[in-house]
Amino acid sequence: MNFFRLLILALAIWLAYRVIKHYLGRPKPPAPQADSTSAPDMVRCEQCGLHVPKLEAVRDGDQFYCGKQHLEDSKKRTDQS
C-alpha cells in the first residue's frame, strides 16, 4: 500500500511540474505598437467623395482631391460657372 501512495505522490509532483513548466515557458505576446496600427487621417475628395489618406490627397486651399484629374475637373467646372 505504501508503494502505491509513493507512486501517486510522484505522479502528482511530476504532473504539477509539467503544468507549471508549460505555463511559465510560454512566450509573451508582443505589445501592440500604436504607431504602426493606427489608421491614417482620411479626407474626402470634393469631386467624387472618395476617402483617401491625407498624405496622398491633392490639396487646393482647404479642399482635398483624390488626384490631379479631379482637381483640374473641379477648377474647370468653377471657371465655367
Q: Residue 35: its pLDDT value, please? A: 60
State how far the Cα of 57 lies from the Cα of 47, in Å rounded to an integer.
12
- Give tens-digit pLDDT for 23-71: 887 777 777 666 655 678 999 999 899 999 999 999 999 999 999 999 9
Q: Can you give the residue ranges of every domain in the chain? A: 2-27+40-80
Q: Residue 10: its pLDDT value, please? A: 95
Q: Residue 36: its pLDDT value, please? A: 56
State how far the Cα of 57 lies from the Cα of 65, in Å rounded to an integer.
6
The model's pTM is 0.51
